[in-house]
Amino acid sequence: MSEQRVGVYVCHCGHNIAGTVDVEHVAEWSANLPNVVISRDNKFMCASTGQEQIEEDIKEFDLTHVVVASCSPHMHEKTFRNACARAGLNPYLFEMANIREHASWVHASDKDGATNKAKSLVSAAVHRVIHQEPLQPMQVDIRPETLVVGGGIAGIQTALEIADAGYHVYLVEREPSIGGHMAMFDKTFPTLDCSACILTPKMFDAGSHPHITLLSYSEVEQVDGYVGNFTVRVRRKARHVDEDLCTGCGSCWEKCPIKVIDTVFEAGLGSRKAIYRPFPQAVPKYPIIDVENCTYYKSGKCRMCEKVCPTEAIRFDQEDEILEVEVGNIVLATGFQLFDPRRIPNYGYGRLENVFTNLEFERLSNAAGPTEGKIVLRDGVTEPESVAIVHCVGSRDKNYNSHCSAICCMASLKFAHLVMEKTGAKVYNFYIDMRSISKGYEEFYHRIMEEGASFIRGKVSEITDAAHTPEEEGKLILVCEDTLIGRPRRVPVDMVILSAGLEPRADAQEVGYMFGAGCGDTGFFTERHPKLDPVATVTEGVFIAGACQGAKDIPDSVAQGAAAAARVLATISKKQVNLEPVRAEIDESRCSGCRICNNMCPYHAIDFIEADGVSRVNPALCKGCGTCVAACPSQVINGAHFTFDQLIAEIDGIMVDVTAGALEVV
Amino acid sequence: MSDKKGKLGLYWASSCGGCEIAVLALHEKILDVAAAFDIVFWPCVMDFKYEDVEALEDGEIDVCLFNGAIRNDENAHMAHVLRQKSKVLVAFGACSFGGSMPGLANFTDKDAMFDWIYKQSPSTDNPQGTLPQKHSQVPEGELTLPNFWRTVKTLAQIVPVDYYLPGCPPEAHQIEAAVTAIVTGQLPPPGSVIGPDVTVCDECSRTKNEKKIKHFYRPQEIIPDPDVCLLEQGLFCAGIGTRSGCGALCPQVGMGCRGCYGPNEGVLDHGAKILTGIASVLDANTPEEVDKILDTLPDPAGYFYRFHLPQSLLRRRALGNGQKQTAKTGEAT
Ligand SMILES: Cc1cc2nc3c(=O)[nH]c(=O)nc-3n(C[C@H](O)[C@H](O)[C@H](O)COP(=O)(O)OP(=O)(O)OC[C@H]3O[C@@H](n4cnc5c(N)ncnc54)[C@H](O)[C@@H]3O)c2cc1C
């Protein structure tokens, strides 16, 4: 090894570090560590003066390696790597010691301890850094096509933004029509504009855009490749209707003799036919045959739709089609699913007739819905005289979901308004806390209070039809403790609306796995950084937008959709991306092909090469997570930048007796 | 090597004797060895006394094959003597390399072991509770036994070692290759393990698939598919993390690799490496499922550390009550 010359820089971070850690002392002490030729402390290493100091020293002292002891590498690793690169030093010859999050902040009440720990961390970095090797990023070309998965408002927005910029989008939607949940709503808070009126133009644009290939009633089955070069296999489920011929005229579903309860779009309140289009504004306009309920598939008879179709578009023998598309980036916008209130049996949903979910209510209130917008009880005729709206159903409750579903307060206020406007019924909102944090939301809350809705602060413990008094007879009684007056209460009403929360989709784990996006403990897809990188995932080229990332309202979903589009467009316009060189490599001359590592890789980056009897890492797919490196029982997988030597040296460094050294340094 | 014959020494410390047999298993090739070397010390086979070897010049032995772990003063003494007298010292076999079976004693300690062996075990009849004594007086004079250590060590933990020849015992073809290398002077860099740096899987002809283990079986519980990787069938096999060279003898006949050739180059802890490898492919999603699967693996410490406990990062089970070991002998203070 030629001579190693390490520079150490200890940051005060204002008072953040220097308030607890004796920064000057750490810098002086570090000067005596092996190979250190210059050690300094500095008020703010990340400021331009701090960075310039590094650059000057690299030149003046001929530094071969640099250590900065400051904050988390998440914050400033890039900053200092760039400073090194500007001075001609390979950025991977830089190492960071985190003496803020790991020392000063967590040991604020123990100055000596924090100082000693900072010294250990610097020592670890100094010992490690000399084993680091120069690495070069890998450059890959970016295909300009994009895949968007999920055609709710978030996915539609993403697709339109990218397509409008002139690049091609494949928009894959599982259901027969795009639109997602928003297509089911009557009005949207807080402005109370008609949901369909603002959504359908966007749906139409997405369906007819020259740069969008809409793959509805389709699902992604397999994803291979890496950023810039994904190959995606899509199953186009058979509609049994020839889209080239169908005009969407409606003769088929008008004449179809089979009526089916529509549990998807109408939330079980209305019905559709066995050949159907989920709603009038559906995009695309073509119907599908519901094979499970169609008479033809049961008995081979009927064929009514075929008889009446003026363009002969019915195809009973149509089969699923497999399509392969090549894309450079992927945006997941798969949305949420509603919490199933049957899981809280004491709320009686499914048992007590007139307990409704929020989605059912949206359909009741919708002029295009099963009651043509009339708010009535389950019997279909009786208008309620009193309505209770229960907030936080399945949300903010550690038995179900601990997260706040973000939209229920506002949606509940919307329901209160619609009930009062359409029926004149008395409305009670049962809430835990009111959350009206976005623009116009607090004003909306006041408006609804002024309109006369009652608010009871307390968690409903039970909804029952067991009357205690003659007034409760025939009613639904909500039992709760009113925490504002400090007394238990029983409130009898005709109708209850449960504001069920937003949950991750049941298949989110699987879908995430397929695309290399992880799910956090709430089950929603995990963003790369909760504040600074909210629409990226750990997989390069895979982005997330909308309610699949966490419960959120329409404006936030649209904003994320646009943000994800911007990220995609940025990579497309760069034409190439640099991939982090921190990745695993298998020494094939020493690999014995035991295949332990093969299904370890969360990114599907490892292939077994049958002919050579060895496993191989695809460098473009590898994220350098180290799982396979740890798993390999013969230690022939090397994790670049986290090599065995580097880690052992780091451990050796952290074991240095910092208290003994402290006595020697003046 | 010049036409002058070299000098060869062989010694066994704490071991079963299998390594000695392995040398004899060279069959007629042993004649080549005899042709190339004068055997100056081989107490197992010929009558040598310790004084004989102590009387040699320093470095007079060209090659010494030393088998067995170091577990008492006598073993250590001979390790020092033979180091001094030998140009090339080879840790021969699994015990001198990694501690092996004797090294499993590091899961317990001397007192507990003596108690079991000399008092509690069902086949022992020792009403007076007599234990081995370092010194005992008999009419003929004083008898001595070497001091028995609390901790078993490897040869390299006692003296510097030039080469390692792993295996329990080393296979004849490898001994032959090693001897040939020594005779012809074509030796790998000092400190090397002699043998290929791939694992047993490399030599095992069973088909390997992506692995998922739901249950471990003991060899008597199932009849394994003859063509498929044993580990995939739930039979513990250390072959994934064990140096090859044996020709995958055990897995080829349906018995999972025991790990006797030790770890590959650079691996600090054989047991930990096999453990992480196997833990990586357990078909479990919850800690409970993991426990359930691991409950089907009896004596995991014995499985994972069978041949390398003294040489591993663990070295031994922690000694309680703040007892410390002396650096040199491993004897508890
Ligand atoms: C009762 C109720 C009322 C609401 N009212 C309002 C309101 O008034 N104002 C407001 O701002 N917000 C409201 N919201 C919130 C709003 O619904 C969400 O913000 C919005 O729907 C999120 O859009 P999205 O595109 O992320 O998800 P979604 O609307 O759930 O759309 C996701 C789409 O992806 C598709 N998909 C899912 N998985 C796959 C897959 N694997 N492959 C292909 N396609 C897939 C789905 O079929 C769906 O079409 C309300 C929510 C509820 C429950």
State whether B244 and A591 contact (CB < 8 Å). no
Place of tokens 């008479």: A295
> Is pLDDT of A578 > 90?
no
Which ligand 1 atom sits nearest the alpha carbon of residue A414?
8
**How high is the mean pLDDT of chain B?**
91
As a whole number, mean pLDDT of residues A329-340 equals 98
pLDDT of residue A666: 29
- pLDDT tens, A601-641? 988 899 999 999 999 999 888 889 999 999 999 999 999 99
Residue ID of nearest Cα to ligand 1 atom 12: A553
As a whole number, mean pLDDT of residues B14-30 equals 91
Question: Per-residue confidence at B3, pLDDT binned at 50, 70, 90?
Answer: low
pLDDT of residue B323: 53
Domain of A115, CATH number, reads 3.40.50
> Is pLDDT of A271 > 70?
yes
Whole-number percent of chain A with pLDDT over 70: 99
Chain B residue numbers touching A599 (CB-CB < 8 A) = 210-212, 281
What single-letter amino acid sits at B101?
M
Considering only residues 194 to 213 of chain B, which have any Cβ-Cβ distance to chain A shorter than 8 Å? 197-202, 208-212
Query: Residue A431 gets which letter from DSSP?
Result: E
Minimal-distance CA residue of chain B relative to A613: B202
Q: Is residue A313 part of a domain?
A: no
pLDDT of residue B34: 86
Residue ID of nearest Cα to ligand 1 atom 4: A411
- pLDDT tens, A29-48? 999 999 999 999 999 999 99
Q: Do residues A353 and A483 both lie within one domain? A: yes
pLDDT of residue B327: 44
CA distance B209 to chain A (A): 7
Question: Per-residue confidence at B297, pLDDT binned at 50, 70, 90?
Answer: very high
Chain B residue numbers touching A648 (CB-CB < 8 A) = 268
Q: Is residue A460 part of a domain?
A: yes
Q: Do residues A117 and A15 both lie within one domain? A: yes
Chain B residue numbers touching A594 (CB-CB < 8 A) = 199, 201, 208, 229, 239-240, 277
> Is pLDDT of B332 > 60?
no
Chain A residue numbers touching B244 (CB-CB < 8 A) = 592
State whether A634 and B241 contact (CB < 8 Å). yes
- Residue A502 CA to residue A392 CA, distance in Å, equals 10
- Residue B196 CA to residue A636 CA, distance in Å, equals 13
Q: Do residues A331 and A345 both lie within one domain? A: no
A202 pocket-lining for ligand 1 (C-beta < 6 Å): no
Q: Which helix (H) or strand (E) holds A478?
A: strand A476-482
As a whole number, mean pLDDT of residues B160-178 equals 93
State whether B208 and A632 contact (CB < 8 Å). no
- pLDDT tens, B210-263? 999 999 999 999 999 999 999 999 999 999 999 999 999 999 999 999 999 999
Question: Per-residue confidence at A661, pLDDT binned at 50, 70, 90?
Answer: low
Q: Is A655 an 8 Å CB contact of chain B?
A: no
Q: Do residues A493 and A350 both lie within one domain? A: yes
Q: Is B280 an 8 Å CB contact of chain A?
A: yes
- What domains appear along chain B, each with residue ranges and CATH number? 6-101+150-184 (3.40.50.700), 200-298 (no CATH)
- How many Cβ atoms sit within 10 Å of the Cβ of residue B110? 15
As a whole number, mean pLDDT of residues A199-223 equals 97
Whole-number percent of chain A with pLDDT over 90: 92
- How many Cβ atoms sit within 10 Å of the Cβ of residue A276? 22
Q: Do residues A98 and A58 both lie within one domain? A: yes
State whether A591 and B198 contact (CB < 8 Å). yes
A387-401, A503-517, B181-195: range with lowest mean pLDDT:
B181-195
Taking the complete model, does pTM exceed 0.80, yes or no? no
Residue whose C-alpha is closest to residue B169's, from B266, B80, B96, B255: B96
CA distance A124 to chain B (A): 20
Q: Which residues pair with A38 in a beta bridge?
A: A7
Which ligand 1 atom sits nearest the alpha carbon of residue A150?
34
As a whole number, mean pLDDT of residues B160-168 equals 96
> Residue A97 CA to chain centroid, in angstroms?
31
pLDDT of residue A147: 98
- Residue A385 CA to residue A492 CA, distance in Å, equals 11
A152 pocket-lining for ligand 1 (C-beta < 6 Å): yes
| A181 CA from centroid of ligand 1 (Å) | 4
Residue whose C-alpha is closest to residue B316's, from B196, B308, A46: B308
Chain B residue numbers touching A634 (CB-CB < 8 A) = 198-199, 240-241, 263-264, 267, 273
- Residue A38 CA to residue A33 CA, distance in Å, equals 10
> Is pLDDT of B328 > 80?
no
Q: Is residue A388 part of a domain?
A: yes
Domain of A346, CATH number, reads 3.50.50.60
Considering only residues 517 to 576 of chain A, which have any Cβ-Cβ distance to chain B shorter than 8 Å? none
State whether B264 and A636 contact (CB < 8 Å). yes
Q: Is B284 an 8 Å CB contact of chain A?
A: no
- pLDDT tens, A440-464? 999 999 999 999 999 999 999 999 9
Q: Is residue A17 part of a domain?
A: yes
Domain count, chain A: 5
pLDDT of residue B324: 52
As a whole number, mean pLDDT of residues A170-194 equals 96
pLDDT of residue A623: 85
Q: Do residues A421 and A346 both lie within one domain? A: yes
Question: What is the extent of the structural domain holding A56?
Answer: 6-135
Q: Do residues A143 and A109 both lie within one domain? A: no
Ligand 1 binding pocket mutation candidate from A178, A554, A556 (most atoms within 8 A of CB): A554
CA distance B279 to chain A (A): 8
- pLDDT tens, A387-431? 999 999 999 999 999 999 999 999 999 999 999 999 999 999 999
For testing contact with chain B, the best of A634, A636, A638, A655 (most B CBs within 10 A) = A634
Q: Do residues A392 and A467 both lie within one domain? A: yes
Of A663 and A454, the structure prediction assigns the larger pLDDT to A454
Q: Is residue A318 part of a domain?
A: no
Considering only residues 61 to 100 of chain B, which have any Cβ-Cβ distance to chain A shorter than 8 Å? none
CA distance B283 to chain A (A): 11
Q: Do residues A107 and A180 both lie within one domain? A: no
pLDDT of residue A664: 40
For testing contact with chain B, the best of A131, A592, A599 (most B CBs within 10 A) = A592
A506 and A338 Cβ atoms separated by less than 8 Å? no
Domain of A611, CATH number, reads 3.30.70.20
- pLDDT tens, A116-166? 999 999 999 999 999 999 999 989 899 999 999 999 999 999 999 999 999
Question: Per-residue confidence at B180, pLDDT binned at 50, 70, 90?
Answer: confident
What single-letter amino acid sits at B211?
K
Question: Per-residue confidence at A377, pLDDT binned at 50, 70, 90?
Answer: very high
| Torsions phi, psi for A281 (to 5 deg) | -90, 15
Report the b/e string of A220-229 with b at 16+ CB within 10 A. Answer: beebebbbbb
State whether A594 and B209 contact (CB < 8 Å). no
Residue ID of nearest Cα to ligand 1 atom 27: A335
A288 pocket-lining for ligand 1 (C-beta < 6 Å): no
Q: Is residue A66 part of a domain?
A: yes
Q: Do residues A498 and A561 both lie within one domain? A: no
Last residue of a domain, one of A466, A486, A503: A503
Q: Is residue A236 part of a domain?
A: no
> Is pLDDT of B183 > 80?
no
Q: Do residues A331 and A342 both lie within one domain? A: no
Nearest to A635 among B200, B266, B278 (CB): B266
As a whole number, mean pLDDT of residues B310-325 equals 76
Q: Is A591 an 8 Å CB contact of chain B?
A: yes
Q: Is A231 an 8 Å CB contact of chain B?
A: no
Last residue of a domain, one of A458, A476, A503: A503
3-class secondary structure per residue, chain B: CCCCCEEEEEEECECCCHHHHHHHCCCCHHHHHHHHEEEEECCCCCCCCHHHHHCCCCCCEEEEEEECEEEEHHHHHHHHHHHHHEEEEEEECHHHHHCHHHHHHHHCCHHHHHHHHHHHCCCCCCCCCCCCCCEEEECCEEEECCCEEEEEECHHHCCCCCEEECCCCCCHHHHHHHHHHHHHCCCCCCCCECCCCCEHHHHCCCECCCCCECCCECCCCCCCCCCECCHHHCECCHHHHCECCCCCHHHHCCCCCCCCCCCCCCCCCHHHHHHHHHHHCECCCCHHHHHHHHCCCCCHHHHHHCCCCCCCCCCCCCCCCCCCECCCCCCEC
Which ligand 1 atom sits nearest the alpha carbon of residue A195?
8
Q: Do residues A590 and A524 both lie within one domain? A: no
- How many Cβ atoms sit within 10 Å of the Cβ of residue A455? 18
Q: Is residue A552 part of a domain?
A: yes
> Is pLDDT of A594 > 50?
yes
